[in-house]
Amino acid sequence: MKRRTTMVSLIAAVVLLAVTVLPVVAQGAGEKEIVLDYFSGRVETVDWDAEKIAGFEAENPGITVEYEFQKDASNVIKVKLASGEVPDITTVVNQDFIDQGIYMDLSDAAFWNRILPSVKDLCTDLRTGKQYKVATNVTMGGLFYNKAVFTELGLSDAQTWEQFVANLEAIKKAYPDKTPLFLGGKDSWTLGHFVEFWAHGIVKQQLGIPGSRQAFLDNTVEWDAPNGIMENFAKALLELRDKGLLNSDAITATYDNQKEAFASGEAVIINQGMWVVGDIVKLNPAMATNIGFGPFPSVVKGLSPMVLCAEDSVYAISATSEHQDAALKFLEYMFSVEVQKEYSEARSMPSAFIDVESNWSPIKDDAKRLASAYVNINFSTEAPSGLSVDDTGRLIQKLLNGDYASPKVFATEYQKLWDNAY
C-alpha cells in the first residue's frame, strides 16, 4: 500500500516535470511570412494598437505583426538591445540609442511632407541632420487653472514673475482654504517637469530650440552661473514656498492628489501637461468647461512667458531589421488620415499631420492660442538618457525641504548632476 502511493507520487512528479519542461512551442512548418516585432510602451492605446494591427494584417496578407507592450518599456528595451535583439518597430527612442546607430534613417520616407515643419525639426538628429524617429503628435504643457476663480478675481495669464506671484497672492487672499499652486512632489517626475519647463525653458528661449538642443548635446549650459538660471529658479520656488502659496505637503502629495485637488477645486493652478485633462474630467465631469490653460512665466527677468510644445508618440525602425520595407508599410498604414484622427482623439492630443483634423480636447482653442502667442519650448530630448526627470525632481524635493544652504548651493548640485550624466 505504502509502496504504491510512493510509486504513484514519483510517477506523478516525473510526468509533471516532463510536461512542464517540454517546450510548448508549436510552430507550423514552412512559413515564409514576414514577421515584424512591434515593441510599444504606450499603455493608453494597448487595445487600440492591437485593433489597428489586425486591420493592417488583413490588408497585407503575408505580413504578421508581433505586438509586445511593456509598462517598463524603457528598461526592457535596454535588456533587449544588450542581448542583440532589436525590435523591428519601436516607440521607445532616446538620443543614446540614436548615437549608437540602432535606428534606421527615415529621412527619405514619404510621410514627412505631411508633418508639421516644427515637429520634423524636433525629430531631426543634430549630429547627422537626419531623421531617425518620427512623431505623430504634439503635446503641450503649461499652467492649468480654474477658469471660474480666474474670472471671478479678474486674473489673466501672468506675463512676468511679479504678476504671477501677485495672481497667486490674490487667490490666497480671496480663498484662504484653497491652494494657489499645488505640487505633487512625492511623484518626483512632476517636480522634474518643473525643472524641464521652468528652468530648461529659459535656455531654450535664450538660445532658440536648435541652439539649446546643441548646447544640451555638448553640455555647454552653465547651470550654476552666479545669478544664473538655476539660482533664479531656486529663489523663485522658495519665494512661493515662503509666502505660503504652495500646498503645505508639496513634497509628500502625489500626482493623484494634484489631479484630485484640481478637479475638486481645492487647487487653483497646477503645472502639468495636457495628458492631465482627460483624467480631471473623469474625476469631475463638471470641470470640462472650467479648465483654463496658460503659459508659465520666466523666472529670469526680461524674458517672455513660455509654453511646452513638443513632439509626442514617436516611432522608429531598427537599422538592422530584415524587413524594413514591411515596417515602413506598417508605419504608412498607422499614419493614414483616418487612423491618426482616431489616435489624436483617443489620446486627447493634437496631430502633427497637417491633413488630420480632429476634435481632441476641451482645451483645443486655448492650446491653439497659446502656441501662437507665447514662446514654444520642447522637451530636452538631447539631455543624456542617464539624467531622468525623476533625478532632477529629487533635487527640488531637497530644495523645498530646506536641505540646501542657499539657492547657489542648489545650482552647484544641479550642475554636478548634469556633469555626472555625460
Kindly state whether residue 67 participates in binding another protein, applying the rule CB under 8 A. Answer: yes
Kindly state whether residue 85 participates in binding another protein, applying the rule CB under 8 A. Answer: yes
**One-character DSSP codes across 300-345:** STT---EEEEEEEEEEEEBTT-TTHHHHHHHHHHHTSHHHHHHHHH
What is the three-class DSSP state of 269?
A: strand
CB 380 within 8 A of CB 308: no
DSSP 195: I
Mask for 150-189, x = binds another protein (CB under 8 A): ------------------------------------xxxx
Kindly state whether residue 68 participates in binding another protein, applying the rule CB under 8 A. Answer: yes
Q: Which residue from 74, 206, 219, 412 is in contact with another protein, where contact means CB under 8 A?
A: 74
Nearer to another protein, 42 or 114 (CB): 42
CB of 218 to another protein, least distance (A): 18
Nearer to another protein, 299 or 383 (CB): 383
Q: Is the dihedral of CA 121, 391, 293, 313 positive or negative?
A: positive
Q: Which of residues 346-405 bind another protein (CB under 8 A)?
A: 384-386, 388, 391, 394-395, 397-398, 400-401, 403
- Which residues contact residue 252 at a Cβ distance below 8 angstroms, ignoring those fewer than 6 apart? 185, 186
Q: Which of residues 305-344 bind another protein (CB under 8 A)?
A: none
Nearer to another protein, 135 or 158 (CB): 135
Nearer to another protein, 39 or 161 (CB): 39
**Amino acid letter at 402?**
G
Kindly state whether residue 301 participates in binding another protein, applying the rule CB under 8 A. Answer: no
CB of 110 to another protein, least distance (A): 29
Q: Which of residues 248-267 bind another protein (CB under 8 A)?
A: 248-249, 251-257, 259-261, 263-264
CB of 313 to another protein, least distance (A): 10
Least Cα distance to 132 among 109, 104, 110, 112 occurs for 104
- Which residues contact residue 49 at a Cβ distance below 8 angstroms, ignoring those fewer than 6 apart? 38, 40, 42, 67, 69
Q: Where are the beta strands (DSSP E) in 54-168?
A: 63-69, 89-90, 134-146
Kindly state whether residue 42 participates in binding another protein, applying the rule CB under 8 A. Answer: yes
CA distances from 29 to 58, 113, 322, 323 (A): 22, 42, 20, 20
CB of 182 to another protein, least distance (A): 12
Q: Which residue from 28, 83, 302, 338 is in contact with another protein, where contact means CB under 8 A?
A: 83
Q: Which stretch binds another protein (CB under 8 A): 60-68, 200-208, 318-326, 365-373?
A: 60-68
**One-character DSSP codes across 100-116:** TT-BPP-TT-GGGGGB-
Nearer to another protein, 80 or 204 (CB): 80
Q: Which of residues 267-296 bind another protein (CB under 8 A)?
A: 273, 275-276, 279, 282-285
CB 153 within 8 A of CB 221: no
Q: Which of residues 187-246 bind another protein (CB under 8 A)?
A: 187-189
Nearer to another protein, 375 or 387 (CB): 387
Least Cα distance to 313 among 133, 184, 167 occurs for 133
CB of 6 to another protein, least distance (A): 5
Nearer to another protein, 4 or 301 (CB): 4
Q: Which stretch binds another protein (CB under 8 A): 4-12, 55-63, 126-134, 298-306?
A: 4-12
Kindly state whether residue 109 participates in binding another protein, applying the rule CB under 8 A. Answer: no
What's the rounded Cα separation, in Å, for the pair 162 and 305? 12
Q: Which of residues 5-24 bind another protein (CB under 8 A)?
A: 6, 9-10, 13, 16-17, 19-24
Query: Which three cell numbers, joined as nine digits, stand for 8?
Result: 504513484
Kindly state whether residue 64 participates in binding another protein, applying the rule CB under 8 A. Answer: no
What's the rounded Cα separation, in Å, for the pair 251 and 257? 12
Q: Which of residues 21-40 bind another protein (CB under 8 A)?
A: 21-25
**One-character DSSP codes across 215-265:** HHHHT---TT-TT-HHHHHHHHHHHHHHTT-B-TTTTT--HHHHHHHHHHT
CB of 253 to another protein, least distance (A): 7
CB of 37 to another protein, least distance (A): 9
How many CB atoms are closer than 10 A to CB 194? 21
Nearer to another protein, 265 or 371 (CB): 265
The site that binds another protein (CB under 8 A) totals a number of residues, namely 83
